[in-house]
Chain A
Amino acid sequence: MSDTDTTDQKYLDLQAYFDGEMDAAERERFEAELERDTELRSELDDIGVMRELVVGGLESEAKDVPQARFEQIWDEIDATIDRDARLQESAGTRPSIWARIMPWLRPAALPMAATAAAAAFVVVVVNSTGDPSNTEAPVASNEPVQAPAQEPAPSAEPPSQEEAEPAPKLAVNNPAPADEEPVDFDVPDSNEAEVERIEFGGHSGHIEQLEGSRGTTTVIWIEEDDEPVDSERSL
């Protein structure tokens, strides 16, 4: 082993030591080495100094950024969160008909219990093709129609995405494919399983127990080999 190799290895160890990547035994051994080797100690000091410089330097740079810039950034974040929320409302779950009408009703103090008026209003909303401000056309006589026209443009987003169809199906990115209703399970008290009998197909498999906060979970590992005839993919 050349001197350089030893130096490199020592430095790698030093690094691991400094970065807290050694286990207790390794640490002990290395600390003994450190006591003997002054050069190694000075190298350690150097890495320490560099860390302070890096951290200090970057923090100092960060201090130089005017607070106003961060305020600007917050405004952008705030606006984006609002936008995300609006998109979620209209695209995500199927909103009830009242949820869809709500943005329109906000300025008008319509008592929801006023079924007659509300029902008429419902008819207006569902049949309209545009945003709230265009509802004068279909039913002009309905008072509530005035209210939506006052709505500021941004909130016209949710209603305008709906045509007469009952369910706006913008949810192309559903997180879980909901072909069938998923079953709800409670959090189990224990996953302990008693395997009474087990057969693996052809090739081997094995059972493992994973330790957890509530006992063990059984994992059955199967070996599913590539079937050369069927497989279209090369490894």
Chain B
Amino acid sequence: MTKTRQTNRLLSTGLALVIAPALAFGGTALTPAIADAADKADCQVTSVLASKEKKDPRIPKELNFLKEQLENDRFAAYNSFKLLERKPFKLTKGKTSKGKMKSGHEFGFTLLGGDDKRVKIHASLLSKSGKKLLDTDYGIENNGIMIVGGGKHPDGKIIFAIQCKSV
């Protein structure tokens, strides 16, 4: 954890070009050229309503990118999925980008680091009433999908699919 914060501080001071080559985090060596690419990232949260109401087709076209996951046994209890919202978040290293979904859930993302292939993200999730639900740091490949499930919804449960990529 401290490593991460160090990276934040060090890189944000512009000393990246000088000291980056010497840093190695979990195999991700930040060279000057790559360090630039890790300054910004585009993320998107797709919120999906999973319900027990029967609908045909079960997984609509716009959710094809999640098809494999939604067809996993883990979601077999749900008969239909519906796209509720797609919300983009623009991240700049070190700054937290917050946004409220239509469901009332509030996401907060901070770009911790990464290179042109991976990103390291801090994600937080608050309930409609502001209660903390989740706070996590994770690293993932660009375009990789991370799923946060179990959000409250009157008609079922909400599944959030989070994707990020460094730009």
Contact = CB atoms under 8 A, between A and B. Distances in A.
Interface of A: 175-177, 180-183, 185-202, 205, 208, 210-213, 217-224, 226-227, 230, 233
Interface in B43-100: 43-44, 60-62, 65, 68-69, 72, 74, 83, 85-88
B21 interface: no
A154 to B, nearest CB: 28
8 contacts: A175-B62, A175-B83, A183-B44, A193-B140, A195-B138, A196-B120, A201-B133, A218-B146
Interface bin, chain B: 35 or more
Contacts, number: 144
B144 interface: yes
B135 A198 contact: yes
Q: Helix, strand, loop or mixed for chain B's interface? A: strand
B150 A196 contact: no
Contacts of A205: 133-134, 150
Interface of B: 1, 4, 26, 42-44, 60-62, 65, 68-69, 72, 74, 83, 85-88, 102, 120, 125, 127-129, 131-152, 154, 163, 165
Contact of B69 (A189, A194, A210): A210
A182 B88 contact: yes
Q: Helix, strand, loop or mixed for chain A's interface? A: loop
B137 A180 contact: no
A183 B44 CA distance: 7
B121 to A, nearest CB: 9
A211 B73 CA distance: 10
A187 B136 contact: no
Given A175-B61, A183-B44, A221-B148, 20 more contacts: A186-B142, A186-B165, A188-B142, A188-B163, A190-B141, A191-B146, A192-B144, A193-B146, A194-B139, A197-B136, A197-B137, A201-B135, A210-B69, A210-B72, A217-B146, A220-B146, A222-B149, A222-B150, A222-B151, A230-B128
